[in-house]
Structure 1
Amino acid sequence: MTVLKKAKFLLIALAVMAAVLLFNGSFLSLTHNILELKKLNAHSAALDEEYKKLAEEYQKIQEGDTSYLQRMARVKYNMVKPGEIEFRTAK
């Protein structure tokens, strides 16, 4: 075989092997699983952060932090003390 034929044969063989690897079901599945894992890790990190915030809020409630409880009552639940007048301003 001449050098040109050997190079052509090698190129075709490499192309076939690449096609088999890329379009093989297990390779596509692996790629999908890696992407899904990255997405789940990001979601897990977000949930960890939310858990941390909720744990801090729970701790403040358990300690009876009155200023925190009053602020939450006013902000989240629109509560006012007896005799107070609520003023709302446009943002």
Structure 2
Amino acid sequence: MDETRLRRELRDAALAHRPDHARILARVERGLAAPAPATRPPRPARLRTGRRWTAVVAVTAAVAGVVGLGGLAATTLNDRPAGPAATLPAP
């Protein structure tokens, strides 16, 4: 189906549409008359932000630990004395 034909059919369908006002109103009235669904009360903001900060601190500590261990390993490897010189067998 090409775009022009599709647009024409959609426009014709939109012009032919006649909403059923009585049905819409009845649905709205049923929705307003129904009891509100039971929801649990929202948690205090302190708990949510506390967990967020805990995660930030944990990630920061992990990154600092990895960087620290990497630096320690790099300095330890540089401080080691050189091994014996490799000797080549005589030809």
Per the normalisation by structure 1, the TM-score is 0.46
Q: Pick the structure with more helix per residue.
A: 1
